[in-house]
Structure 1
Amino acid sequence: MGAIPPAVARYRRTARYRRREEDEVSDAVRVTARLPAPPARVWPALTEPARVARWFGDLAGPLTVGEDNRLGFDDGDFFTLRPTALVPGRTVEFDWRFLGVGKRQRVVWTLEPAGPGAALLTVADHDDSRTPAEAAQLHEGWTDFLDRLARHLSTGRDARYALRDDIDGAIDLPAGPYRPLAHPTLLDWLPVAEDGFRPAWFFVIDDEGPRRFALREWELREDEKLTFTVAIPETAGTPAARVTLAPVGAGLRLSFAHRGWTALGLPDGRAQELRRRFTATWVASLASARDRARAAAGPG
């Protein structure tokens, strides 16, 4: 979702993509695919919002070097991004943050001809803090997205995914006295209310107002891990959340994963809307934890 972009962690290998020996799996993940179109056809699919929306996500506007943009997905996931280089027909480079709060990562797309009617596209995703396991997962995610691009170029049809099972993300906090996974401090940033005896409700609060969901199976290991499930009315689903705190560099990384959104038995539209609302709440919660940790750490 290290801060792996979870939106690229869906992997489905098909015959259209075959891993090349030069693909790299490390802190700088690199994946190359041969695409069934010349560079002149591939370039618009990488840069023009209407084309990017057919296989990847929704750009807020045209890519412009130095200007902030946003790449959104139907299920509520998004990246904030800023292009740093655009070489027409050749290179797209940008920095992005998953959910707008994750660690900044640098992504570089490199396009080159590969004979009549074909092109090679390489994507390199740089982050010096990810583990080998995280890099391998990210490699699989980029493999899936390059396959979706190849299918779109081959058929002209949409190739986007509709709903991802996990909501997950992470934010880096400064070192200091703030303890985001200690009771009752965690109630300051996590939208949870107690019933007088124990945590009982998880509140989703966004532009549509508050809505509460019953909490179950709450378990807290202070300063390390929190787990719980959330009951979804009118379904048998109880998506399970896991929040962890771990040292990274000179500070701490607060991470979460909330799983079980594709097994609720809801119509696609309702499932997407529910997941979007929970995603927005988690984003706001991470940002609140970051702000409180910064305030507790003091100047510098």
Structure 2
Amino acid sequence: MNPHSDTLTTADGRTALRMVRRLAHPPGKVWAAITDPARIGQWFPSEVAVDLTPGGAMTFFMPGVSGPAMTGTVTDVDPPRLFAFTWGEDHLSWEITPDGEGSLLTLVHTFGDRFGGASFASGWHLCLTGLSQLLDGDAPAVQPDTGELHEAYLEQFDLGRGVVEDTADGPRIRFERQLVRPAEAVWAELTEGREPVTGTPAPKGFTAEGAPAGPVSEVRAPTTLAYACPPGGTVRWELGSGTGHGARLVLTRTGPPGFDTDAALAAWHDRIEHLAARLMDG
């Protein structure tokens, strides 16, 4: 199961992850494994109850999560070819086509959070590995991703790239990147034991080449730090919840009209990727 055969495309604010796997089993056997709740629960990340009719209800019981279960609706049922359903605001389509004595299984997961694409891809990669093991007659035994698979997908899908935005106050560069460690671990790496204090220079970990450490204007550990960036502008770090894989970093750097956005994009890309590598090492 080669992650490099998987694709991520975005259009009209929605992103589609497409993953294709060849399985050495006929369509009917694959169909049973992806629609029978007793089998789904062995490779899918939750227990499932399903009314296998178009418009039927689906309920997802996530292990270790209290409170109401997630719900969805079956949108397509065409055995043994097509099974599709909603999962919250997402849509999942499973299509099975004959391929010799086996089958091709195509999963298309459509969602709104483009920057979560690597998390979804790495999660589905493991699920599909477990599904293959189940079909082969083995008990699914898949080790959780420690981050390497996530980072491989993030690089493949080019999800670490920053953008330049025009604002009323001048140009702004923006990066949004899913990380694989929680905010507390990211904050510890950035501060290196020196907690930021308003009015004092930002710790070196929060800076990049061409972005000198001006005075901190806002700090809320372990989620937010902003500081002035001479000769004009502001750098702001925000760590949110993301996909649950780890913290979601949003970094912005504003500057005066005419500041070198190309150089800033390159410098901050290098800084963020260095941070991601350090978090993996840790």
Q: TM-score under structure 2 normalisation?
A: 0.47
Q: TM-score under structure 1 normalisation?
A: 0.44
Which is bigger in relative contact order (C-alpha 8 A, separation at least 6)? 1
Structure of higher CA gyration radius: 2
